[in-house]
A and B are shown apart, each in its own frame.
Chain A
Amino acid sequence: MTGIELRHVRKQFGATVAVEDLNLVVRAGEFLSLLGPSGCGKTTTLRMVAGLEYPDKGDILINEQRINDIPVHRRNFGMVFQDHALFPHKTAYDNIAFGLKYRQVERADIERRVRRALDIVRLPNVGDRLPRDLSGGQQQRVALARAIVIEPDLLLFDEPLSALDANLREEMRVELKRIHHTLAITAIYVTHDQAEALSMSDRVVLMRDGRIEQQGTPDELYRKPASEFSARFFGQVNDVSATVIAAADNGCRVKLDGGPEVDIAGIRANTGEPIKLFLRAERAQIGLSFPNEPGFATFEGTITTCDYLGVLTRYVVDVAGVSFVVLQSAAGSVLRPRDRVTVRIPSDAWMKF
């Protein structure tokens, strides 16, 4: 298995700096996601690894060997493109066999390996079809088979599922994970879908404007965002201005601007200091009443809006002039606008950057 390293990599297109001073280590066997909003340089980074773009500055290394000058066709990296990029004039079988023709693989062996790849992606009976006679999901599986049949040192994905509909995307996510597990291969996966990145990756690299904003396990990124940008990238976040009224070693007490006083765990601040606090919408709860428990703050409020989203419902609750967005499972009692409710927030749910 192969790991890959990027050192101080930079890429500029005309006046646009697509990637700036990027340092990244992908460990052998790891499934790493490059996540970020549109235009943040994910594809450019991936293409530089693939050899389809040449970095303006910096090095790309495999096993401590600089590979900047190794052309695409000698890198032995499998790549899966967003819109499959299947060869429209070749059958599924010939698409998959394509890479083997440029390697010294014997005829019988080609047949065996293509069949095996088709089995791995669970598409045994479509070998003789042209891409246009395959469904979107089948095309993506063929594209995947074509990339893995060459036994690549590295698998590169550029938003491979974004062209599929929601259900199929879910299914293919599981499939990709299974295949990655089966092959035990290093993979870099580009996506702008946070759910995809969190559910599939060993490690997530969040990018912003051509730089790395934060990297870590999915859990670390979700639980310990290092910046407001990171926090906001994984779901809806409330932000509240507050003033510290009492400080302690492991927390503080603040007064929300125009609202109630709250005890906060895990955030250190100086008394009198104005601070900005963040709170994930799904960490707050609302209900008609809650028993008084230590470690939670509760306040009275009024529901102003209520959006039914299916699994979850999004409420906006007004607490003494401060609006809180609360995401909550729709099970249980149905709450309506103008209902008086209690908002409960765990004291360790607050974040500050």
Chain B
Amino acid sequence: MSARRALRSLLGALTLITYLFMLAPALVVVVLAFNTSPSSTFPMTGLTFRWFAELAQDDAVLGALWNSLVLALCASTLSTVVGTAAALSLSCFRFAGRGPMQLMLTVPILVPHIVLGVGLLLAFRVFGLAKSFPLLVIGHMAMTLPYVVLTTSHRLRAIPANIEEAARTLGANRIQTFCAITLPLALPAVLASSLFAFMSSFDEVTATLFWLPANMQTVPTQIMAMLQFSVDQKINALAALLIVGSVVLAAAALALGRALSVDEQRPRGKRT
């Protein structure tokens, strides 16, 4: 009995340490972003919003932020639309070349980003295309598409076929069935994967470095550029904003998923 309790507290301690290990650096960054001292070191000398204010004045950072947001939004929207359509055709229809298509759509997830980066860059060259924002969007779309296809087609396959058939016997045609039954049931997966696509596009740096048009920066490449000169307090402030932003986004996604998903499989609650 006591051995079991000891084991349990050991497990608890281990879990705590793991969390600390993962979260402490992020926490340090957020805390230090409010430090008055211009060097990012402990002990803290006072609290200030100065670095955030300076950040808001920095045109390069603001420009990069804007670029990243537009890029991530375009890439994730495109891959959500295209990926959902692909997932639908993959899981609902049997057609020639279905297997290869599935492979093509999901394999980029396994390819190192540096290979993707160089590969697409060379492809641009072959076709005589100059680096440009639309091409950057296309690159990011290729990288984020697998998430959408995998998550959504997995979800679609989990919807029993006879639920859609029931809708059709009740008088809904295929399109009506899709809108009233399939889409609402797949929506949590679609939203979750588009959010994931957004975050991974926003975050991507390796391949982006190869594809960026001249005189353009995204947030990650901007941070890299800034780091070459100094570890500025402004970087801490920017990092703190990104951390808080992604936590909020992830929490929102989780809550949304909870609210939307109605799973038959989930254990039933107490009934009256």
Interface residues of A (CB under 8 A from B): 50-52, 71-79, 81, 83, 85-89, 98-99, 102-103, 130-133, 135, 143, 146-147, 150, 156
Contacts and interface: CB of A to CB of B under 8 A. Distances in A.
A210 B51 CA distance: 78
Interface stretch (B74-82, B95-103, B168-176, B189-197): B168-176
Contact of B176 (A52, A87, A102, A150): A102
Contacts of A146: 166, 170
B163 A85 contact: yes
B149 to A, nearest CB: 23
Contacts of A71: 173
Contacts of B264: 88, 131-132
Contact of B170 (A102, A132, A135, A156): A102
B262 interface: yes
Nearest to B176: A102
A52 B171 CA distance: 13
B268 A133 contact: yes
22 contacts: A50-B169, A51-B169, A52-B165, A52-B168, A73-B171, A73-B176, A76-B171, A77-B169, A78-B169, A79-B166, A81-B165, A83-B162, A85-B163, A87-B166, A89-B184, A98-B170, A99-B171, A102-B172, A102-B176, A132-B266, A133-B271, A156-B169
A48 to B, nearest CB: 13
B167 A88 contact: no
Contacts of B59: none
Give the top 5 A-B pairs by smallest Cβ distance, nearest first: A99-B170, A102-B171, A85-B166, A89-B262, A85-B162
B22 to A, nearest CB: 35
Contact of B171 (A85, A132, A143, A150): A150
Contacts of B269: 133
Contacts of A73: 168-173, 176
Given A85-B160, A132-B262, A133-B268, 6 more contacts: A87-B167, A88-B185, A89-B184, A102-B171, A132-B263, A135-B271
Interface string B147-184: 00000000000001011011111111100100011001
A234 to B, nearest CB: 30
Given A88-B185, A88-B262, A83 B268 contact: no
Contacts of B165: 52, 72, 79, 81, 85
Contacts of B173: 71, 73
B170 A83 contact: no
Contact of A52 (B169, B185, B268, B271): B169
A117 B184 CA distance: 26
A98 B262 contact: no
Contacts of A156: 169
B98 to A, nearest CB: 17
B176 A132 contact: no
Given A85-B160, A132-B262, A132-B263, A72 B169 contact: yes
Contacts, number: 79
A103 B184 CA distance: 21
Contacts of A72: 165, 168-169
Contacts of A52: 165, 168-169
Nearest to B267: A132
A151 to B, nearest CB: 12
Nearest to A97: B170
Contacts of A78: 169-170
A81 B271 CA distance: 24
A73 B184 CA distance: 20
A88 B262 CA distance: 6
A39 B106 CA distance: 36
A68 to B, nearest CB: 16
A87 B171 contact: no
Contacts of A75: 169
Given A73-B172, A73-B173, A85-B160, A98 B167 contact: yes
A79 B271 contact: no
B169 A88 contact: no
A73 B263 CA distance: 26
A9 to B, nearest CB: 19
A119 B166 CA distance: 22
Identify the interface centre among B163, B181, B269: most chain A CB within 10 Å of its CB: B163
Contacts of A99: 170-171
A146 B166 CA distance: 10
A186 to B, nearest CB: 15
Nearest to A47: B165
A127 to B, nearest CB: 15
B62 to A, nearest CB: 42
A74 B176 CA distance: 13
B174 to A, nearest CB: 8
Contacts of B266: 132
B183 to A, nearest CB: 10
A6 B171 CA distance: 22
Nearest to A102: B171
A143 B167 CA distance: 11
Contacts of B172: 73, 98, 102
Contacts of A98: 167, 170, 172, 180
Identify the interface centre among B163, B171, B172, B264: most chain A CB within 10 Å of its CB: B171
A130 B166 CA distance: 17
A97 to B, nearest CB: 10
B168 to A, nearest CB: 4
A86 B165 CA distance: 11
A41 B269 CA distance: 38
A260 B119 CA distance: 90
B268 to A, nearest CB: 5
Contacts of A76: 171
A258 B165 CA distance: 58
